[in-house]
Amino acid sequence: MTALPSPAFWHSKRVVLTGHTGFKGSWLALWLKRLGAEVRGIALPPDTSPALFKLAGVADEVDSHFCDIRDPAVGTLIREFQPDIVLHLAAQPLVRAGYRQPLDTFSTNVMGTAHVLDALRGLDCVKVALVVTTDKVYLNREWPYPYREDDTLGGHDPYSASKAASEMVARCYRDAYLAQQGVALATARAGNVIGGGDWSADRLIPDAARAWDAGASLSIRSPNATRPWQHVLEPLAGYLVLAEHLWADASFSGAWNFGPASNDTATVRTVVDMARATLGHGDVIWGDNTDGPHEAGCLALETAKARQQLNLLPRWTLQEAVGRTMRWYRSLSEGADAKALCEADIRDYEAPA
């Protein structure tokens, strides 16, 4: 059976979670509280409306602080909490936003990561740190082979390049400072995540949910682009299980890929068709990849390392992930409670296979 986060481990652990106001951060905050952790969240206020952070009442579940991770005050917020574990998710997370705001993207993703990790120097209570980056840190050669953790880093666009640079920052802090003080530090590179509660711009499922809820057509730029799609709970489970291993054994430090099974990597068209099938409706305008700046056409992750060393296997197929996501949005529009919807998905994910 695939590994799952351990309530016995997380109970009473003091966890700093940056980016807790975002889509993945909100889901992770709810899961950590369910596991019994004491969580301090540090992030900017949510930048979408609606926002899962507000709808699910995440601020009521954690010790929430609004702070830019580029602000030196982030160090004070981390150190005074005396965390056992630091999970760094805060970032500028969008490719197209990176094109529009390259300097903000680089300063947030590179120097923001440096500010968070610098706060851990000399902080004796911390034992584990995890920096979340992206599958887009690799030098994309548009080949059909999945990228492995030891493949060359790169980045054509500012977002991808900034995340590759944050990998270098994490490696530097680990080797120059944190390893010698007993902090096990790893980086996590996850594929494209889907799930209820994401309202970010220029993301496939949120764009679909917005368009179809309004009775409009969904415009697709690159229907044949392939990505390693997965439900948001899949990489979050990976982060938590990896943190447990790091706590027990610092040799788990380093880079880790988290993604779907290789046969679940799919095109944008496939995911859209699955989403439409769940809802029973949805008009689409298919583009030809000529609209907008360059984005990778083919991207897949090799996850053998996580599978073999962490016993992590995807629990939900792509079809299950898309179906659950679209049903989440439909249930919310019909009046369901966002927090209850998230907790139901978490319970189902934790249930025996």
pLDDT digits (tens, 9 = 90+) for 222-279: 899 888 899 999 999 999 999 999 999 999 999 999 999 877 788 999 999 999 999 9
The pLDDT of residue 264 is 79
The pLDDT of residue 295 is 62
With respect to residue 34, please indicate whether it lies within any of the assigned structural domains. Answer: yes
With respect to residue 221, please indicate whether it lies within any of the assigned structural domains. Answer: no
- The pTM (predicted TM-score) of the whole model is 0.95
213 compared with 77, residue with greater pLDDT: 77
What secondary structure does DSSP assign to 218-242, as a single string? EEES-TT-EE--EETHHHHHHHHHH
Q: By three-state DSSP, how is residue 298 classified?
A: strand
With respect to residue 321, please indicate whether it lies within any of the assigned structural domains. Answer: no
The residue-averaged pLDDT of 67-74 equals 97
**Distance between CA atoms of 140 and 87, rounded to whole angstroms?**
27
CB 140 within 8 A of CB 96: no
Overall domain count for the chain = 1
Range of the domain at 164: 7-195+229-263+299-316
The residue-averaged pLDDT of 109-120 equals 98
**Distance between CA atoms of 54 and 23, rounded to whole angstroms?**
11
With respect to residue 288, please indicate whether it lies within any of the assigned structural domains. Answer: no
pLDDT digits (tens, 9 = 90+) for 271-319: 999 999 999 989 999 987 666 675 666 888 999 999 999 999 999 999 9
The residue-averaged pLDDT of 329-348 equals 97
The pLDDT of residue 1 is 62
The pLDDT of residue 142 is 81
With respect to residue 205, please indicate whether it lies within any of the assigned structural domains. Answer: no
With respect to residue 123, please indicate whether it lies within any of the assigned structural domains. Answer: yes
Q: What percent of the chain has pLDDT over 90?
A: 86
With respect to residue 215, please indicate whether it lies within any of the assigned structural domains. Answer: no
With respect to residue 104, please indicate whether it lies within any of the assigned structural domains. Answer: yes
The pLDDT of residue 296 is 61
CATH assignment at residue 172 = 3.40.50.720
Residue 84: which pLDDT band, with cuts at 50, 70 and 90? very high
Tokens matching residue 260: 């779907």
When the pLDDT of each residue in the chain is averaged and rounded to a whole number, the result is: 94
